[in-house]
Amino acid sequence: MIDDLKTFTTLPDRAPPGSEIGLIAWIRQNLFGSAGSSITTLILVFLFLMYLPPFVEWALINANWVGNERSICDANKAGACWAFIGVRMDQILFGLYFGANPDQVWRPVTIFIIFFTLLIPLMIDKTPRKDILGILLLLVFPALFYVLIYGGVFGIPVADTTQWGGFLLTFALAFIGILFALPIGILLALGRRSEMPVIRAICVTYIEFWRGTPLITILFMASVMLPLFFPAGVDFDKVVRAMIGITLFQSAYTAEAVRGGLSAIPKGQYEAAMALGLGYWKRTIFIILPQGLKISIPAIVNTFIALFKDTSLVSIIGLLDLLNMAQTASRSLEWNGYDIEGYLFAGFIFWMFCFGMSRYSQNLERKLDTDRRN
């Protein structure tokens, strides 16, 4: 009977009850949700109030910000001696050569300006022609770096690599390490999943060997043992040796990070690509790697952050990176005793770059997440 049919109607949406929204509700739910939670909150607030104000007082309020001599800092021991960092800034950031030759500091400054000019547009979504920017950054920039920092051409005085140091060295080691380790790591990860047993065996051996050796050992070997394998007179540059050691080590870690992403791709993706007639390399480049690398981003960035900080280990072969240069400066005759300021400053620079990498990777993950419905 048509007359008996009922019509389905949707009920209107109602707002959630008041206890679920607003600041008070958030505090009640998250900070004082239970007895345990309330106690933890109170203890943390107490510790915070006890230790933070004295630190702020020392580091900011009472600090000695300006001045050229330690006598200013010695007169006011209640505050941090940032004047020391100011005086030795060039040395800590750019190494001994540029620390001693202030008229040459424009070289590293220019190189970093170029670096960020290329990098920042690459991180913004709407930039056109990112491919050209990317090529400039990955291929042209390293050459420019060498020309400008090493010098010896166009009348620029030579800054020998033995004189490279500070953040400049940290940056150079990490940049080259990342630049070479990523493609080598991707190839190793693909090789480890290859159907050809010989290729697989080579990749597994490589990865397991370098992953099983501490970086400090590799750097030591690169410095002390490498020369033994070459005839006398053939002398590799110390910085180049460190770069090679770091790349060998880092590529094994990157390979494992990438492999994790590759193995998360469902078999159906390979099959669909094969069924369309795409060969191995086209399948890999267009279907497998874009998805695999997306999944691997957190793991890859994690290894890059670790690498960035591990560059400090080059002190074992007598190179002074950011951390070691800060330490050297704070042990100089003029500023002996202001270690804490040196370490804090080096730590802050490390943190800024690592935090930047971490945030960018989160941003990238969000952007590449095509599964969300909107």
> Which residues would be at the binding site for another protein (CB under 8 A)?
266, 268-269, 271-279, 282, 286-287, 290-291, 294, 368, 370-374
Closest C-alpha among 127, 118, 122, 121 to residue 145:
118
Residue found under tokens 């107490």:
46
Separation in Å, CA 26 to CA 31, 32, 229, 251? 8, 9, 66, 45
d(CA 356, CA 233): 43
d(CA 81, CA 103): 25
Do 353 and 321 touch, CB atoms closer than 8 A?
A: no
Strand segments, DSSP code E, in the chain are 165, 320-321
- Report in angstroms how near the CB of residue 98 gets to another protein at its nearest: 44
Task: Name the helix (H) or strand (E) containing 134.
Answer: helix 130-135
Would you say 200 or 294 has its CB closer to another protein? 294
- Report in angstroms how near the CB of residue 293 gets to another protein at its nearest: 10
Would you say 50 or 198 has its CB closer to another protein? 198
Would you say 54 or 266 has its CB closer to another protein? 266
Would you say 31 or 278 has its CB closer to another protein? 278
Q: Where does 193-288 have alpha helices with state H?
A: 197-211, 215-224, 238-262, 267-275, 280-283
Would you say 152 or 290 has its CB closer to another protein? 290
- Report in angstroms how near the CB of residue 315 gets to another protein at its nearest: 42
- Report in angstroms how near the CB of residue 167 gets to another protein at its nearest: 36
- Report in angstroms how near the CB of residue 13 gets to another protein at its nearest: 23
User: What dihedral do alpha carbons 173, 174, 180, 182 form, nearest 10°?
Assistant: 170
φ, ψ dihedrals at 332, nearest 5°: -70, 160
Angle in degrees, CA 215, 146, 157, rounded to 5: 120
- Report in angstroms how near the CB of residue 290 gets to another protein at its nearest: 5
Separation in Å, CA 132 to CA 54, 111, 148, 172, 374? 50, 18, 21, 22, 31
Would you say 291 or 296 has its CB closer to another protein? 291
What are the residues facing 166 on neighbouring strands?
321
- Report in angstroms how near the CB of residue 328 gets to another protein at its nearest: 48
Would you say 129 or 373 has its CB closer to another protein? 373
Would you say 42 or 276 has its CB closer to another protein? 276
- Report in angstroms how near the CB of residue 186 gets to another protein at its nearest: 16
Would you say 28 or 282 has its CB closer to another protein? 282
Q: What is the DSSP string of 45-74?
A: HHHHHHHHHHHHIIIIIS-B---SSHHHHH
- Report in angstroms how near the CB of residue 200 gets to another protein at its nearest: 19
Would you say 218 or 299 has its CB closer to another protein? 299
- Report in angstroms how near the CB of residue 268 gets to another protein at its nearest: 4
DSSP letter (8 states) at residue 21: S
d(CA 185, CA 179): 10
